[in-house]
Amino acid sequence: MATWTPDGRTKRPELAARMANHGDGWQLLAPTVGLFRRGIAPGAIVRGGVSLGELDVLGVLHDVVAPDGCAGVVAPVADQHRGEVAVGFGQPLVLIVAAAALAPTGEGDEPAAGAGEHARLVFPAPLSGRFYARPGPDRAAFVTVGAEITRGQTIGLLEVMKTFNRLTYGGSGLPERARVIAILAKDEDDVEAGTALLELAPL
Amino acid sequence: MARAPNKTPTFHRLFIANRGEVAVRVARACDDLGIAPVFAVSEADREAPWVAGRETVCLGPARAAQSYLDPVRVVAAARQSGCTALHPGWGFLSENPLLVSLCETHGITFVGPPAHVMHRMSKKTPAKRAMRAAGLHVIEGSDGVLADEAQARAVAERIGYPVLLKAESGGGGRGMRVARSSGEIASAYGEARSEARAAFGDDRVYMERLVEGGRHVEIQIIADRWGNVCHLGERDCTVQRNHQKLIEESPSPVLDDGERQRTLEAAVQAARSIGYVGAGTMEFLLDEQSGKLLRFMEMNCRLQVEHCVSEMRSSIDLVHEQIRVAAGHRLSFSQSDVALAGHAIECRINAEDPNNDFRPAPGTITKWHVPSDAGIRVDTHVTEGYTVPPHYDSLLCKLIAHGPDRNAAIDRMLAALAELICEGVPTTAAMHCTILASEAFRSHRYDTRTIPGWSAGKGS
């Protein structure tokens, strides 16, 4: 299955991920059945042709590359892929959020460096459920726009199957401290796992 | 069904590499045996009724070539979903030796014969040679592949015209040409070769005497890995349209007992001699021109759509036995335990318009009711509100009627067909009523060329 370059090295076969619109970004979906490994890290910049990870299809490693026409920053997800994940056709691999500075026709030099400058950092919901921004109806919200938050700080509640869970700030790809730029989910919104709740700027 | 003891250890998880009615049938056996089935689905079948509440792996887009027909995706999905066995059902990849080899390579037990047996039986002349050696009659013809046109002419002179030139790797009626005289040999040989090269990538052809208007009879075989082979009697599938079977019944109403017994025994011997494992079917042509002999045509290395007919007569669950045998167990019965009772008939209800040249008709089923009388079995994946997708075959449901004799089974089937309600898409149910009620069907005056009681131009 490997293709050969003229100097004799093998080159992994490439598969373009499928793409679905998702809010103000895209979901990149598995192009076939396989074991997905080495997924791209949150915060990295993605453009058409960038490798998103490798897909093991019955022992043959394929590079999964981003399709043309998408550009953005990899959003952190709650159940960050660790090790390998068995994926079916059309299963989401990566969520990317469009970044204003990254038009799909970007000039394309030095993509990885300086990603933090333009990357839109978001804090996603770890589970599907109902989001509460305040501890009680007559209490102040956990966080406000412009506030600084640190790892471990409670930023809201998530009611999942009649159980209230504290949402504590943290997660891979997120800085130790950050400033809240926007609260994306409204109080008592029903959110899906992975839905961005807070937009952040690193401090 | 009672005979398969459910406590036999087999597999924990089994991958069903099929869809629709086939997936439903295999899943029922899994549920009986305490196996957790994992279903392959395409994008079009993700929300299908038969996978509601079940574990699924999406293989690919709706087009079968990129989902159900891709052996790599199928085996990758089986492996990563933790299945140790794979049931291919029938159709799709069920006779694909590559799928079997991939399963063997990746540590998944294929529910079916070994890859080398499947490969051998998929080539026509080795299959014929093996069957002749085991004592079955074959259709007279060239001994293997034809070397050139001169040899074709010589073989035709020896066996007599008309003759049929067939592709070595063929199937589905393609790569076949008839020559009715020596003048037609040259063009038939050339055309069969070029069509075979285009369709199957293999231009080798062989020759057989053309048997016109025979009846299609097939024998159900089941074998284990210990050399035990049993048959479950024969089925008569003579009512066909363009090589697509419409009605199957067992026993064959026109076969005499001597020829039946001799061929059943020879078929068991033949299956044993090639090392067959699992359920399989040998297809024969009842040659009424020369001595009413059953002549071997080909072997299907899989379960067939119409296996239910044999199950109704024998009360043996063939999918249970297939799974047990794949797990290395012996058959749960021996030939002397097989008691074939009464007469069984199956009608295939397709989403096709018989009055409009059998045009397939996908669409949404707005009303659906199936009969549930005694002696009637219904195998279906359809529920009310189901949308028949345009990507796959048109089978909606199979009705199987069992009765003490042929007339009783026909009457039961007619009552069941009258009770069946399907609104939203046209079906072949009314055509089955016409056929079953016809004098030609009741008195067996038909062969594979004609549909009894149904004239081709009717309604169009």
Domain regions of chain B by residue span:
13-111, 140-209, 215-442
Cβ-defined contact of B59 to A88 (cutoff 8 Å): yes
What integer best gives the mean pLDDT of chain A?
Answer: 80
Q: Which residues contact B172 (CB under 8 A, 6 or more apart)?
A: B243
Query: pLDDT value at position B76?
Result: 96
Q: Mean pLDDT across the stretch B205-224?
A: 91
Whether B43 and B19 have beta carbons less than 8 Å apart is answered as no
Q: Which residues of A touch B57 (CB under 8 A)?
A: 33, 88
Whether B292 and B223 have beta carbons less than 8 Å apart is answered as no
**A-chain residue closest to B57, CA distance:** A88
Query: pLDDT value at position B124?
Result: 82
Is 3.40.190.10 the CATH classification of the domain at B140-209?
no
Tell whether A8 and A107 lie within a shared domain.
Answer: yes
For residue A33, give the nearest of B61, B77, B102 by CB distance: B77
Name the residue with tokens 């050139």: B148
Encoded tokens for B112: 């079916």
Tell whether A126 and A195 lie within a shared domain.
Answer: yes
Tell whether A99 and A143 lie within a shared domain.
Answer: no
Q: Which of A56, A86, A112 is the last residue of a domain?
A: A112
Whether B20 and B380 have beta carbons less than 8 Å apart is answered as no
CA distance B107 to chain A (A): 11
Cβ-defined contact of A58 to B72 (cutoff 8 Å): yes
Q: Which residues of A touch B72 (CB under 8 A)?
A: 57-58
The pLDDT tens digits of the residues spanning B364-376 come to 999 999 999 889 9
Whether A37 and A62 have beta carbons less than 8 Å apart is answered as no
The ipTM estimated for the assembled molecules is 0.76
Q: Which residues of A touch B59 (CB under 8 A)?
A: 33, 88-89
Tell whether A176 and A153 lie within a shared domain.
Answer: yes
Number of A–B residue contacts, CB under 8 Å: 40
**Bridge partners, residue B40, by sequence:** B57
The pLDDT tens digits of the residues spanning B96-147 come to 889 999 999 999 999 999 999 998 888 888 888 889 998 899 988 888 888 8
DSSP string, B240-288: EETTEEEEEEES-TT--HHHHHHHHHHHHHHHHHTT--EEEEEEEEEET
Query: pLDDT value at position A108?
Result: 40
Tell whether A151 and A54 lie within a shared domain.
Answer: no
Tell whether A20 and A104 lie within a shared domain.
Answer: yes
**Bridge partners, residue A124, by sequence:** A196
Tell whether A20 and A41 lie within a shared domain.
Answer: yes
For residue B58, give the nearest of A34, A35, A88 by CB distance: A88
Cβ-defined contact of A88 to B102 (cutoff 8 Å): no
Whether B429 and B421 have beta carbons less than 8 Å apart is answered as no
φ and ψ of B457, to 5 deg:
-85, 0
The pLDDT tens digits of the residues spanning A52-84 come to 999 999 988 899 999 988 888 888 776 655 678
For residue A86, give the nearest of B43, B56, B80 by CB distance: B80
Cα B175 from Cα B191, distance rounded (Å): 8
A38 in a domain, yes or no?
Answer: yes
Q: Which residues of B touch A32 (CB under 8 A)?
A: 60, 73, 76
Cβ-defined contact of A89 to B73 (cutoff 8 Å): yes
**Prior bond to B49 cis, omega within 30?**
no
Tell whether A20 and A106 lie within a shared domain.
Answer: yes
pLDDT confidence tier of residue A176, bands split at 50, 70 and 90: confident
**B-chain residue closest to A57, CA distance:** B76
Dihedral sign (CA B89, B91, B97, B98): negative
Question: How many folded domains does chain A comprise?
Answer: 2
Cα B229 from Cα B222, distance rounded (Å): 6
Whether B121 and B274 have beta carbons less than 8 Å apart is answered as yes
For residue B73, give the nearest of A32, A35, A86 by CB distance: A32
Cα B250 from Cα B310, distance rounded (Å): 7
- Look at residues B141, B198, B197 and name the one whose alpha carbon lies nearest to residue B165: B141
pLDDT confidence tier of residue B211, bands split at 50, 70 and 90: confident
Q: Which of A78, A112, A146 is the last residue of a domain?
A: A112
Mutate to test the interface with B, among A1, A15, A32, A33 (most CBs of B within 10 A): A33
Whether B281 and B248 have beta carbons less than 8 Å apart is answered as no
Cα B416 from Cα B349, distance rounded (Å): 12
For residue B58, give the nearest of A35, A57, A89 by CB distance: A89
**Which of helix, strand or coil describes residue B174?**
strand
Cβ-defined contact of A58 to B79 (cutoff 8 Å): yes
Length of chain B equals 460
Whether B147 and B154 have beta carbons less than 8 Å apart is answered as no
Query: pLDDT value at position A139?
Result: 83
Residues of B with CB under 8 A from a CB of A: 43, 56-61, 67, 72-73, 75-77, 79-81, 102, 106
A182 burial (CB, 10 Å; 0-12 / 13-18 / 19+) is middle
Mutate to test the interface with A, among B58, B66, B105 (most CBs of A within 10 A): B58
Question: Above 80 in pLDDT, residue B152?
Answer: yes
For residue B80, give the nearest of A35, A89, A90 by CB distance: A35
**B-chain residue closest to A29, CA distance:** B60
Cα A31 from Cα B362, distance rounded (Å): 28
The pLDDT tens digits of the residues spanning B308-334 come to 999 999 999 999 999 999 999 999 999
Question: Above 50 in pLDDT, residue A134?
Answer: yes
A33 in a domain, yes or no?
Answer: yes
Dihedral sign (CA B112, B116, B117, B121): positive
Residue type, B136: L
The pLDDT tens digits of the residues spanning B87-104 come to 999 989 998 889 999 999
The pLDDT tens digits of the residues spanning B385-394 come to 999 988 888 8
What integer best gives the mean pLDDT of chain B?
Answer: 90
**A-chain residue closest to B71, CA distance:** A58
Query: pLDDT value at position B456?
Result: 56
Whether B4 and B324 have beta carbons less than 8 Å apart is answered as yes
CA distance A57 to chain B (A): 6
CATH number for the domain formed by residue range(s) B215-442: 3.30.470.20
A7 in a domain, yes or no?
Answer: yes
pLDDT confidence tier of residue B27, bands split at 50, 70 and 90: very high
Tell whether A78 and A157 lie within a shared domain.
Answer: no
**Which CATH number do you get for residue A25?**
2.40.50.100
Cα B399 from Cα B378, distance rounded (Å): 5
pLDDT confidence tier of residue A162, bands split at 50, 70 and 90: low
Tell whether A96 and A151 lie within a shared domain.
Answer: no
**A-chain residue closest to B56, CA distance:** A88
Tell whether A10 and A88 lie within a shared domain.
Answer: yes
**B-chain residue closest to A85, CA distance:** B80
Q: Which residues of B touch A57 (CB under 8 A)?
A: 72-73, 76
Cα A85 from Cα A152, distance rounded (Å): 28
Question: Above 80 in pLDDT, residue B4?
Answer: no
- Look at residues B368, B374, B348, B382 and name the one whose alpha carbon lies nearest to residue B420: B368
Q: Which domain holds residue A140?
A: 122-202
A117 in a domain, yes or no?
Answer: no
Cβ-defined contact of B61 to A89 (cutoff 8 Å): yes
**A-chain residue closest to B80, CA distance:** A86
The pTM (predicted TM-score) of the whole model is 0.78
Query: pLDDT value at position B59?
Result: 96
Tell whether A7 and A106 lie within a shared domain.
Answer: yes
CA distance B98 to chain A (A): 14
Cβ-defined contact of B76 to A34 (cutoff 8 Å): yes
DSSP string, B325-370: HHTTPPPSS-GGG----SEEEEEEEESEEGGGTTEE--EE--EEE-
**A121-124 and B278-287: which strand pairing?**
unpaired
Whether A199 and A180 have beta carbons less than 8 Å apart is answered as yes
- Return the active site residues of B: 302
CATH number for the domain formed by residue range(s) B13-111: 3.40.50.20
Q: Which of A80, A112, A144 is the last residue of a domain?
A: A112
Cβ-defined contact of B58 to A91 (cutoff 8 Å): yes
For residue B73, give the nearest of A33, A86, A90 by CB distance: A33
Query: pLDDT value at position B387?
Result: 92
Cβ-defined contact of B76 to A33 (cutoff 8 Å): yes
> What's chain A look like in SS3?
CCEECCCCCEECCEEECEEEEECCEEEEECCCCEEEECCCCCCCEEECCCEEEEEEECCEEEEEECCCCCEEEECCCCCCCCCEEEECCCCEEEEEECCCCCCCCCCCCCCCCCHHHHCCEEEECCCCEEEECCCCCCCCCCCCCCCEEECCCEEEEEEECCEEEEEECCCCCCCCEEEEEEECCCCCEEECCCCEEEEEEEC
Query: pLDDT value at position B425?
Result: 92
Q: Which residues of A touch B43 (CB under 8 A)?
A: 89-90
Q: Which residues of A touch B102 (CB under 8 A)?
A: 58
The pLDDT tens digits of the residues spanning B275-310 come to 999 999 999 999 877 778 899 988 999 999 999 999
A13 in a domain, yes or no?
Answer: yes
To the nearest 10 degrees (0 to 180), the angle between helices B97-105 and B71-80 is 30
Whether A109 and A59 have beta carbons less than 8 Å apart is answered as no
Encoded tokens for A38: 């080495």
Q: Which residues of B touch A34 (CB under 8 A)?
A: 76, 80
